[in-house]
Each structure stands twice: as C-alpha cells, then as structure tokens.
Amino acid sequence: MKAFRRTALALLTACTLPMIAASATAQEKPVVQFIATGGTIAMKIDPVKNAPVPAISGDDLLATVPDVGKYARIQVNNLSNVPSDYMDPARWVQLTQAVQAALARPEVAGAIVSHGTDTLEETAFWLDLTVQSSKPVVLIGAQRNASVSDFDGPRNLLNAVRIAVDPKARDKGAMLAMNNQINAARYVTKTHTANVETFRSGEFGFLGEVYPDRVNFASAPARRQHLPIQAQTMPEVEIFPMYGGANGQAVRQAVDRGVKGIVIDALGMGNMNVAMLDAAKYALGKNVPVVVSTRVHNGRVMPSYGFEGGGKTSFEAGAVMADDLRAPKARILLMLALQSGVTGQKDLQAVFDR
C-alpha cells in the first residue's frame, strides 16, 4: 500500500508541476487590451446578400491567432461591431475612454484597436490626440474579410500584439500596423481601395516594420500633442472641398444653420477662388473659425500666393493654415481645440503649428 501511495504521489507530482509551471509562465506574460470596434476585419460573406457584413467578434478573431499566447495575455473588449463609415465623434469619445481606462491599469502593456479601414486614419489621429499615456496604442484593420482564404486580419493582430509589448513602442502614441508596416497616426492615410499595402505616410515614411524575429523601429513621431476631452458632445465642424467652379454656397448655408467650425479642402498650397474666399470671409465675419487644408497628398499649406483667393489672402482675412494635415484630420484637431476653449486665429494657428 505504501509503495502504491508513493507511486501515485510521484505521478501526481509529475503531472501537476508542469501545469503549475505553465500557469506561472502565463501569468508572467504582459496583458494587452484588445478593443474590437468592427470593420472588414470583423466581417464575413453573408450567403443571402453575397457581400461582407459584420459577423465576428474580437474573441472570434483572437481564436484564429493562437500564437499570440507566446507574447501576451489578451483581454477582449467588444466595444462595437460597425463599419468604420459609421464612426463619429460620439463613438470616438467612447473609444478614448475605453483605451484610457485600459492603459491606466498597471498590468496592461498596451492597447490594440481593431477597426475598419475607411476611417482608420481618422480614429488613429483622434486617439493620438486624446489618449495620454506612454504605453502604445496600436490600430489594425483588414482589407480582406474573414471569409476569404488570404484574410489579412490574423497577421495584423499578431503583429499588433508584438508591437504592444515591445519596449521600443513606448512614447510613440497611436500607431497603425498593417501588412507588417508601422505608421504614425498623424501622417498615415489609405491610398488604395483594395490592396493590403494600402496605408502609407507619404514623404515621412514608416515608423518601422515587423519581422519574424523582432519589431524594428527606424524613427519616432516628433509632432505630437495632447488635447483632453472636456465635453461629451463635440462642436460640429464641416469640410468643404474647393474645385473648379466652387461657389461657396454650402459654406454659407452651414454657417447659417450654426456650424461651429469649417475646414476648406483647398487647392495647391492652400488656394481657392474668389467665391470660396468670400464664403470663408462670411464665416469668419460670423465668428466661425475657418481652417484651410489642401487636397494635394504631400506638403504644407502656407499663406504664400497673393492673388484674391490665394493662401495669403485667406490668412490675412483670419483663416488658419492647417500646416501638413489633410482635411479629415484638420477637422478633428479643430473640433478638439474648440471644445478645449481655444478660439481666435492666433491661438488656433499655434495648435496647428505644433
């Protein structure tokens, strides 16, 4: 009987110790908060509609990537499951609160946000401005839905986990990680409707890349600022494009209905025609701030050209130059500045120049 007990004890010990060791190892892994919001990365082909629709949760996506367990313990927050075309300031406020709450926990190394690609660059910039933490925030999406054989969501999630736990990712703000490439929130933009290598940062280039053996950072974003959320409802800011023959009527109508800020997606270095300039002056005369951006992919807007409608004339009328921000991101920065109480050309220009 004693021999039997010794044998049983030995067997129990042999089985239990590896389990305890494995459990201890798992507990040593850093925690990463995975916040799912929807998008193509959460879609499958609906057999009736024969088109991608929201279908899978963050937990479902995580289950397709068992290798994440080598790097971190993942906690999932299924915040929403909507196309990113539905994202708006109210959802952005909610997302910032979720990310900030996660990063405030000492055991959390970083946060991942899965999101549709259509407005992914806007959400990335919003989070870069509103989340205050040295811990990384990594945004991912997918160009191919979960029904196709070469679904890119799992690889992007695995890479995001590796970035989130990498010490070199700290103090870089919000980053967008897809197709093994890492982009800074301020400059990244979607450049192709279908290709997996759609997100690029123009002349500024990638922050780094993800390789099988390590995450490789080449640079860090230098132009960052924090604007805390001080209101649950953001002031309404509208974007109006400049094009050949634009008459500015839509700008005037927006001012008359009470819009709080206007971004003009101008031409070249920030130029527009006389009709649009007059509309901008109308807005400024009603104390509605006007920010001038450009539809050109690279470069800054500046008060350079002096013809009527040139950037110099709109600046002299009181407009703010958006620097190198394109219209959607200029709109976000203007909203956050206004809700923080920043008004007037001089103070708003200082925000855009940072």
- Number of Cα atoms under 13 Å in the Cβ half of residue 171: 5
CA–CA separation, 302 and 322 (whole Å)? 8
pTM value? 0.91
Give me the mean pLDDT over the 236-240 stretch: 98
**Interval 15-43: pLDDT, tens:** 554 444 444 455 689 999 999 999 999 99
Residue 68, pLDDT score: 95
Q: Give the closest residue to 325 by CA, choosing from 218, 192, 188.
A: 188
- Domains annotated for the chain, with CATH where assigned, are 31-217 (3.40.50.1170), 237-353 (3.40.50.40)
Q: Contact, 140 vs 160, CB < 8 A?
A: yes
State the DSSP code for 17. H
Residues annotated as catalytic are: 40, 117
- 13 labelled binding-site residue: no
- 84 labelled binding-site residue: yes
**Interval 142-198: pLDDT, tens:** 999 999 999 999 999 999 999 999 999 999 999 999 999 999 999 999 999 999 999
267 pLDDT above the threshold of 80: yes
Q: Give the closest residue to 303 by CA, choosing from 332, 258, 271.
A: 271
120 pLDDT above the threshold of 80: yes
Confidence of residue 14 (pLDDT cuts 50, 70, 90): low
Dihedral Cα 293, 295, 299, 302, nearest 10 deg? -40
Residue 27, pLDDT score: 63
Give me the mean pLDDT over the 249-272 stretch: 98
Residue 232, pLDDT score: 86
Confidence of residue 6 (pLDDT cuts 50, 70, 90): low
- What is the pLDDT of the chain when averaged over all its residues? 93
Q: Contact, 73 vs 31, CB < 8 A?
A: yes
- 64 labelled binding-site residue: no
Regarding beta strands 199-200 and 51-54, do their DSSP bridges make them parallel or antiparallel, or are they unpaired? unpaired
Give me the mean pLDDT over the 319-326 stretch: 98
